[in-house]
Amino acid sequence: MRTALTILAILAIGTVYSPIAFSESTDSAASDAAAHKAHEAYVKAINSNNLEILLEMLTDDVVFMAAHAKPFVGKAAVRPWLEGYLKAYKTNWDKPVQEFVVNGEWAFERYSYKSTDTPLAGGDPIVDTGWGFVVYHRDADGKWRVTRGGRTILR
User: Residue 107 belongs to what domain range?
Assistant: 2-151
Average the pLDDT over 117-142 and give the result: 97
pTM: 0.80
CATH of the domain at 141: 3.10.450.50
What integer pLDDT is reported at residue 27 of this predicted model? Answer: 60
Q: Is 35 within 8 Å of 144 (Cβ atoms)?
A: yes
Rounded distance, CA 42 to CA 68, Å?
22
Report how many domains make up the chain.
1
pLDDT digits (tens, 9 = 90+) for 54-100: 999 999 999 999 888 899 999 999 999 999 999 999 999 999 999 99
Rounded distance, CA 24 to CA 48, Å?
35
pLDDT digits (tens, 9 = 90+) for 6-57: 333 333 434 344 343 333 444 677 778 999 999 999 999 999 999 999 999 9
